[in-house]
Structure 1
Amino acid sequence: MTSPESHPRPAVFIDADACPVKDEIYKVAARHGLDVTVVANRFMVTPREAFVRLQVVPEGPDVADDWIAEHCVAHDIVVTADIPLAARCLAKGAAAIGTTGKPFTESSIGSALATRELMSHLREIGEITGGPRPFAARDRSNFLQALELAVTRSKRALAEAARP
């Protein structure tokens, strides 16, 4: 898609099909002048703002994830609950934030991937039958704080990289 040289500010990518914080992302992006790409496997209503773009991808396992991982670059921000996608984006130098506000980092992603595998195995053998806890107002607040921090860090890093 673009490189840091062709967009001097971070872009935001949303793994959108089950994202509960899209409205918050749009508000933060508008305040900071960031472009947002909403990636989904079906049409969804998005704000009619020039900075918001809907990218509809074909249905299928990991198609949206593959699109995001291919198009994000260093210093972009990816919002996803998908741990393997977060790992792929971190490997490219992008920031990754969970929808509950938990940032994925180089130091935490290995543990998150291992925990995901363990939980998947426990579900397969019937030890765990419930899903994650319901999304709460506190999650929304945590997400906004994490997104603001990620935007600030990304903008600062891009500005430092642009200095001669």
Structure 2
Amino acid sequence: MAEPVTILIDADACPVKEEVYRVAERYGAQVRVVSNSPFRVPVSERVKRVVVSDGTGGPKFDAADDWIAENAGPRSVVITADILLAERCLKAGATVLRHDGKPFDAASIGSALATRAIMEDLRAGMDGVGGGPPPFGKADRSRFLQALDRVLVGMGN
């Protein structure tokens, strides 16, 4: 029997944690909710909270990303909107989904990185003026659930 899938959530800005818990329970997947600060997680043997810090108890920039990237592998599904973290996890063999269900993969990560760089340059010239991402809606949530279901079925769970 294959080792269970572990879903690693980049939790600080993740709007689909509850959906992940439900789907993971259905498929018997393990879940690691990784953040710089504590989050309430369901009482379950499958769901574990991982709070990372700088070693002195304070938050460390990118500590959650580092933990996720170091623990990602071929039997992992990483949930993140962070393009740089997605790239690291793909290199480790993990499957990576954005919160809206769109996958990061070898074909899309290069253009995502290029777009990120362009947007950073544009934002730098706007002196704080900007809109940010569109609101997260029901269609995004539904797309995410369908994508996570497809991935777990594809991994033999």
TM-score > 0.5, shorter chain as reference = yes
Which of 48, 56, 75 is residue 53 of structure 1 equivalent to? Answer: 48
AA at the equivalent of 1:16: A
- Would you say how many aligned residue pairs link Structure 1 and Structure 2? 151
**Which residue is equivalent to 1:134?**
135
C-alpha separation in 1, matches of 2:66 and 2:45: 24
Which is worse superposed, 119-128 or 17-26? Answer: 119-128
Listed one character per residue, the Cα deviations across residues 74-99 of structure 1 (whole Å, up to 9, x for unaligned) are: 13100001011111111111000000
Runs of 4 or more consecutive aligned structure 1 residues displaced over 2 Å after TM superposition? none
Q: Is the partner of 2:134 in helix, strand or coil?
A: coil
Shift of 1:109: 0.5
1:20 CA drift (Å): 0.3
AA aligned to 1:74 is: P
State the secondary structure of the residue aligned to 1:48.
coil
SS of residue paired to 1:155: coil
Which residue is equivalent to 2:56?
none
Q: Structure 2 regions of 5+ residues with no counterpart?
A: 54-58
Q: Give me the whole-angstrom Cα distance separating, in 2, the residues matched to 1:111 and 1:73.
A: 23
Q: What residue is the counterpart of 1:10 in the other structure? A: 5
With the length of structure 2 as denominator, give the TM-score of the two structures.
0.92
Q: Which residue of 1 aligns with 2:153?
A: 152
Structure 2 matches for 1:94-109, cutoff 5 A?
94-109=94-109
Normalising by structure 1, we get a TM-score of 0.88
**CA RMSD of superposed structures (Å):** 1.5
Task: Tell me how far 1:104 sits from its aligned partner.
Answer: 0.5
